[in-house]
Structure 1
Amino acid sequence: MRPLPSAGPHLDRLIRRDQLDAVRASLRQALPINMLLGLASFLVAVHSGHGALGAAWFAASTLVNLLRLWLCRTPCPGLAMAPDEAPSSEAAARSIDRHLRLACLAGLLSGSVWAFLPILCAGYTSEQTLFYLTVTCGITAGAVMHGIAYARIPICFVAPPLFSVAVCLLAAGGFDRICLAATVLLYFVALVRSSIATERGFRETSRLKNEATALAEARRAAHASASALAEEMRGRAMHDGLTGLLNRAGFVQRLEERRAQGEAVCLMMLDLDGFKSVNDVYGHGTGDRVLREVARRIRAALPITCDAARLGGDEFAIVYDTLHTVENPAALADRLIRTVAEPFESFDAGRVGVSIGICDVTVDSLTHLLSCADEALYAAKHSGRNRFHLFDEVLSRRLEMRRDCERCLSQALAENALQVWFQPIFGRGGRSVTSLEALVRWHHPVHGWVPPADLIAAAAMAGLTESLLRFILEQVCAMLCTLRERGMSDLSVAMNVSPREMAQIAVDEIVLERLRALGVPTTRLEIEITEETALDIEAVQGKLLALSRAGIRMALDDFGTGYSSLASLRQLRADRVKIDRSLVTGLSEAEDKRGLVQAVLGLGRALGLEVIAEGVETADDLSTLQAMGCPFMQGYHLGRPQPADDILRILDAQAETARQLRFGA
């Protein structure tokens, strides 16, 4: 970008460039007139009988004029450069100065030729004197009039002939000639002053022009720079800095544009499987490299008409027009899964995969489209690694149910439409109830019984997680108070706390404050958590420690699946472990399951942990667990979840049976 001229060398070079350019233009106009006047002088000399002298003089004048024309047409590096560059270099500036000096010398030489004009009129004493004086005055005045850009050239030109006139007139003597000589000298001074003044005006005009030009160029450059910066900022605002793909904002905008154009949009939501373990084991630097490589693989595997984005973390998205893409969504998703699953450098193959949710149905809004794709992704992730799932009618009903639940949950909590049921946990090999597990239930007026997982998710989406937790806690505390009143204070009650609740809510403060307010012993409450809680152990460890120190027992649910490890038992401060139902169902017929259950039982004995087998559905499974020495059991075969009143009648009946046995004994 050309800098804005200032009162310095750069501006002066620009002005001198304009001066040289103007000098050349004016000389090309003035020299033909000079030559014509020279020809007229020659003809007058011939007519007056001085043909030889006139011819010699005219030849000299013509040669000098041709030299001056040649100089006007000689290439000059400073003039040949672009206007926004010249004369930026020292060499270009020197070439301009050199041409100006040569023009001055050529003007002086031409003026010197005209200084010999008196030889054609006997030193301005012949009868042709008036003609030659008139020509001399006219040509000098014309030189000044045309030489407004650079005063030195007209001064160099007019000085010799005017001084020649003055000297000749003084030499001729006589009052009138002496006065005329003085007038010529005064005329010379006036021409010099006029030349200097006009050059000063030209330089000022040139300065203003160059400053205005540079200012305009600076404004254009600034506008171009601002436009480029704005475009770059728009690009950055719409693209992910790590992968170069569209970011969430850019992707949503592109998705809206496609929908506005009437495209048959197919949306894919992708979530990496196993990426967290890469960050944990190899560090975030490796994780970033994996994300960049995954982005590259996704982009390379897609047709050019597809848009790809990184929405954040390890979540990606793809959108395209199904009418212009030959490959069907299932085939494309399968190819993407294979592409991402290829081995990465620096760690073992198979550690990273991808789950994909696909929505290619027509929906009424962008939000609905994103929700459908998210629902399909949720289904894909829960079906295993490296899977894809198409949004279908089943997921549509499920999504509709979740939406309705989100809308209705607040009112349901306010109206006590939710219920907490209790499922017994049996000890002594399944012979007597030793504790209860609280399970939230909601019979939606449209969708019927809502699965607990969907209820928890609806509460999270509606911002009612804490309200739901307080509702369940209130019902659990009421049950504990009732058990104490009926003389069953040895029974404990367990309530489930999801990883989201544990991480986002002050569970420890809420639970302990409510127990203190009701005077319920902390040892009668048990909190069940899943191993997924350990994934964000830093956020929950302090809460778990506070609950454990207060005497509340911790049970680790779904043990044997997911993230099971000895470290999770220690980090989550577990007192109990519950063997997942997937290991218990069909236990009597599966030797490998029996081996796993036996291992967990042995681990419990070694670590002093109570072990509960959940999901006991058949008599065969019950007898197998009894034979293996499992101390605690839970399942439909032993007792289903029931409302509080029903479970209390069962407990009353069990207590009555126990009294009768003692009385009979």
Structure 2
Amino acid sequence: LTGTVISARRDALAASRRVSAIVEATPDLVASAWRDGSIAYLNPVGRELLGFQPERDPGGRAFDFLPDQLAEDLMRQGMRIAEQQGTWTGENRLIRPDGHVIPISQVLLVHSPDPNAEQMLYSTICRDISDQRALEDQLRQAALFDRATGLANRALLEEQLSRALAAGGRPRRVAVLFADVDRLQHVNETFGFQVGDHVVSTIAGRLRGLVRGQDLVARHGGSQFVVVLTEVPDEFEAIALANRLLGSFAEPVEHDTGTLQVTGSVGITVADLGDDHLHVLRSAEIALHRAKEAGGGRFALFDDAMHARSQRRLETEADLREVLATGAWTLAYQPIFDSVDRRVVSVEALLRWSHPTRGAVSPGELIALAESSGAIVHLGREIFRRACSEACGWHAMGYPLPVHINVSARQLREPTFVDDVHAVIDETGIDPRAVIVELTETTVATREHGEIDTLHALRELGCRVALDDFGTGYSSLAELRDLPIDQVKLDQSFTTELTTSPRAAAMVEAIVSLATALDLEVVAEGVERDGQIDALAELGCRRIQGFALSRAVAPEVIVGMLRDARPVADGDAGGQALTP
């Protein structure tokens, strides 16, 4: 019996030593302490984690290694649960003597060497989860913050705005300011995307410094920012901040190759508790678009009229998509006449669309919608195809009438534009000499996107090029020599004062004289009175266009005009070219 007891004790001692070796070698903190907090045991990893030398007795109480009252309360709660259930598992924090706080996951066990003892012994296993928390913070940062600027991203913006607008508590108002860098695309195209990104980051830092601690600045995307003022008495506080935002946009931005200056636009809306956060954001964005439409560098305050315009625009955009899908638009043609014999010498294709409920939509509004929605390239391509096809019908009848087709800056800058024109010419069989591509002065003013090369390529196809609205843009008479064009269309402002202003008449005469010397045709637009027709003929301008001779008319009316060789006095009212 004695041998059996000795053997059992030997086995127990061996098992204890094995457990002790495991505890000493484990990568986690292992400790035991009495209920009053006095430490009975701390393994080497625990000593290292808490900043003690291996040979030094940590002393003190376990509670001394908890950073604050919250952590101590959590520990005592865990001890009570462990006393009832045997174990407790949770998370807490420890603090080193140097003040460094360590997040831990913890398992707490309770046991007593003597069931009758007043003191109970607790053992704990703690794992340092600093790396896990750091990873969680990184994931949260990536999920809720913009990496480039460090600002809140759209997800966090919507979460915080929804919370700010939640009903409850004392009544208050929330202001939302939607801001954007004006014409950043021009900066990207001129200086490169790296400089554009630098502009956005610089302005982000400035905006962060303009708001109160309880307010939010977020990057909504691209060059757009949103500021949420969580409590404002009225819109005037938001307006004051908007002016400061505009000032921060306008400050010069230093970059590697120099200094540049941009402007910004701001849309403002003030919301009440309980308002839908997405609706509030949309209202501020509508106001931003209004500020941009007014020229940028300013703010706009959202109101009901603005909302109505926005709703109308959204509905029209939806209808536009259907129109583009079904081709439910038409072309009207305004003739261009010889000022002497008044015969039709060419026509200009003009876009027409009748809305099912609103009636005729102005071509200007339609083109603006197509531009903003990105549909202008597709629409322009289809207009080009239809105009060439209808012109071929006249040619087949024996009327080789040239057709003017307006092209937007966006179309001209498309890399495939010349190929698209070539494809339409091949598809329709039109003589390219009967195709006159019209573009405005501003389209070729910057010459930064290869527009001049595109015009040369069009002329190599056999097409002709007309410069529309001459006199309203940036081109000078001297520049006409260098532009690859065949025709100049004088803006209506010259024609209007022709018979009343000797200065206007002298300018028209000078332009006609220079254009003739450069082998360019001149077309006078906006001719609305017979006296203007005679005056233009006397000044040598043989090509005229305007309501005095004919409005834009349907294709079949053009055939009648050609057959009768006479102008049409009345037709489809109005007309606007496909220009941006």
Alignment of 1:374-385 (within 5 A): 374-385=285-296
| Relative contact order, higher structure (CA 8 A, sep 6+) | 2
CA–CA distance in structure 2, aligned partners of residues 447 and 596 of structure 1? 42
- Structure 2 segments unaligned to the other structure (5+ residues): 1-20, 33-38, 58-123, 569-580
Tell me if structure 1 keeps the 8 A contact 2:265–2:296.
yes
Paired residue for 2:312? Answer: 401
Aligned residues of 1:357 and 1:377 also touching (Cα < 8 A): yes
Residue in 2 that maps onto 1:661: none
Letter of the 1:356 partner, please give it. Answer: V
* 1:241 lines up with 2:148 in the alignment: yes
Q: Give the partner amino acid of 1:340.
A: F
User: Partners in 1 of 2:180 and 2:271 — Cα distance?
Assistant: 21
- Deviation digits for residues 612-660 of structure 1 (CA, Å, limit 9, x no counterpart): 4434456677677667655544333443222223343334443599xxx
Q: Report the CA distance shift for 1:370/1:578 in structure 2 as closer, same or farther (over 3 A).
A: farther
- Match of 1:642, SS state, is coil
Find the residue that maps to 2:430 and give its secondary structure.
coil
Distance 1:316-1:567 versus aligned 2 partners, 3 A rule: farther
Do 2:26 and 2:45's aligned partners in 1 also have CA atoms closer than 8 Å? no
What's the counterpart of residue 176 of structure 1?
A: none
Matched residue SS, 2:550? coil
Q: CA deviation at 1:444?
A: 0.8
Deviation at 1:457, TM superposition (A): 4.7
Q: What is the letter of the counterpart of residue 349 of structure 2?
A: A
Which residue of 299, 312, 316 corresponds with 1:388?
Answer: 299
1:521 is the counterpart of 2:431: yes
Match for residue 48 of structure 2?
Answer: 85
User: 2:359 — aligned with what?
Assistant: 448
Cα distance in structure 2, aligned partners of 1:396 and 1:310: 24
Per-residue Cα deviation, 1:362-420 (whole angstroms, up to 9, x for no partner): 99976665555555444433433523334455544443333233333455456664221
SS of equivalent to 1:85: helix
1:308 matched residue in structure 2? 217
In structure 2, C-alpha distance between the alignment counterparts of 1:356 and 1:379, rounded to whole Å: 9
The runs of 5 or more residues in structure 1 that have no matched partner are 1-6, 19-24, 27-77, 97-211, 658-665
- The offset of 1:523, in angstroms, is 1.3
8 Å CA contact retained: 1:586, 1:621: no
Q: 2:249 aligns with which of 321, 334, 340?
A: 340
What is the CA-CA distance between 1:535 and the residue it aligns to? 7.0
1:549 aligns with 2:460: yes
Amino acid at match of 1:336: L
Say whether 1:424 aligns with 2:335.
Answer: yes
Matched, 1:492 2:424: no
Q: Which amino acid aligns with 2:132?
A: H
Task: Find the aligned partners of 2:561 and 2:323 in 1 and give their Cα distance.
Answer: 28
Question: Match for 1:440: what amino acid?
Answer: L
User: What is the 5 A alignment of 1:625-636?
Assistant: 629-630=540-541, 632-636=543-547
Name the aligned partner's letter for residue 514 of structure 1: V
Pairing 1:173-184 to 2, within 5 Å after superposition: none
How far has the Cα of 1:524 moved from its partner? Answer: 0.9
- Does the residue aligned with 1:476 lie in a helix, a strand or coil? helix
Provide the rounded CA distance (Å) in 2 between the counterparts of 1:596 and 1:376: 42
| Cα shift at 1:514 | 3.4
Distance 1:626 1:265, change over 3 A: farther
What residue is the counterpart of 1:225 in the other structure? 134
Distance 1:422 1:292, change over 3 A: same
In angstroms, what is the RMSD of aligned CA positions?
5.4
**What secondary structure is seen at the aligned counterpart in 2 of 1:554?**
strand
Aligned residues of 2:48 and 2:54 also touching (Cα < 8 A): no
C-alpha spacing 1:221/1:520, structure 2 compared with 1 (3 Å)? same
Q: State the one-letter code of the partner of 1:295.
A: A
For residue 393 of structure 2, give the secondary structure of its aligned residue in structure 1.
helix
Aligned with 1:217: secondary structure? Answer: strand
Aligned equivalents of 1:400, 1:641: Cα separation in 2: 31
Contact 1:429 1:630 in 2 (8 A): no
What is the SS of the residue equivalent to 2:556?
A: helix
1:435 to partner: Cα distance? 1.8
SS in 1 for 2:433: helix
The CA deviation at 1:513 is 2.9
Distance across 1 between alignment mates of 2:237 and 2:503: 40
Pairs within 5 Å for 1:314-333: 314-320=223-229, 323-324=232-233, 327=236, 329-333=238-242
Give me the TM-score of the superposition, normalised by structure 1: 0.56
Per the TM alignment, residue 421 of structure 1 is displaced from its structure 2 partner at its CA by 0.8
The whole-number CA distance in structure 2 between the counterparts of 1:333 and 1:590 is 46
Return the letter of the residue paired with 1:512.
H
Cα distance change on mapping 1:450 and 1:655 into 2, 3 Å: closer
8 Å CA contact retained: 1:322, 1:328:
no
1:478, 1:13 → 2: CA distance? Answer: 81
CA distance in 2, matches of 1:597, 1:639: 22
Greater Cα radius of gyration, structure 1 or 2: 1
Distance 1:403 1:438 in 2: 27
- Measured at CA, do residues 375 and 577 of structure 1 come closer, stay the same or move farther in structure 2, by a change above 3 Å? farther
- Alignment partners' CA distance in 2, 1:580 and 1:649: 28
Conserved? CA contact 1:429–1:633, under 8 Å: no
Higher mean alpha-carbon deviation, 636-645 vs 573-582, is at 573-582
1:480 deviates by 1.1
Q: Bigger CA drift: 616-625 or 509-518?
A: 616-625
Single out whichever of 596-605 and 270-279 deviates more from structure 2.
596-605
> What is the alpha-carbon distance in structure 1 between the residues aligned to residue 258 and residue 509 of structure 2?
31
Distance of 2:229 and 2:521 partners within structure 1: 54
**CA 1:86–1:374 in 2, change beyond 3 Å: closer, same or farther?**
closer
The answer to whether the 8 A contact 1:14-1:87 is kept is no
SS at match of 2:345: strand
1:265 Cα deviation (Å)?
5.3
CA distance in 2 between counterparts of 1:426 and 1:282 reads 46
DSSP 3-state at the match of 2:354:
strand
Alpha-carbon displacement from aligned partner over 1:25-84 (angstroms, at most 9, x marks no partner): 99xxxxxxxxxxxxxxxxxxxxxxxxxxxxxxxxxxxxxxxxxxxxxxxxxxx9999944
Tell me the CA shift for residue 291 of structure 1.
Answer: 3.4
- 1:588 deviation in Å? 6.5
- By how many angstroms is 1:453 displaced? 3.5
Q: Deviations over 1:464-505 (max 9, x none)?
A: 65663454234313431232244321x211222333444568
Across the two proteins, how many residue pairs are aligned to each other?
476
Q: Deviations over 1:597-616 (max 9, x none)?
A: 77866774565544444344
Is the Cα contact below 8 Å between 1:299 and 1:308 reproduced in 2? yes
Question: Do the aligned residues in 1 keep the contact of 2:389 with 2:430 (CA within 8 Å)?
Answer: no
Cα distance between partner residues in 2 of 1:373 and 1:14: 53
1:523-542 aligned within 5 A? 523-530=433-440, 531-532=442-443, 538=449
Please state how far the C-alpha of 1:260 moved relative to its aligned partner: 5.0
Higher helix share: 1
Q: Return closer, same or farther for 1:290/1:81 CA change in 2, 3 Å cut-off.
A: same
Structure whose residues are more often strand by fraction: 2
Q: 1:592 to 1:401 in 2, by over 3 A?
A: farther
TM-score, normalised relative to structure 2: 0.63
Cα distance, 1:443 vs. partner?
1.2
Task: Report the Cα distance in structure 2 between the residues aligned to 1:602 and 1:275, rounded to whole angstroms.
Answer: 41
Measured in 2, the distance between the counterparts of 1:426 and 1:515 equals: 25
Change (3 A) 1:517 1:644: same
Asked if residue 272 in structure 1 is aligned to residue 181 in structure 2, the reply is yes
- Counterpart code for 2:151: L
Distance 2:462 2:352 in 1: 28
Query: Is contact 1:503–1:536 with CA below 8 Å preserved after alignment?
Result: no
User: Equivalents in 2 of 1:360, 1:591: separation in Å?
Assistant: 55
Question: 1:324–1:640: structure 2 CA closer, same or farther, 3 Å change rule?
Answer: same
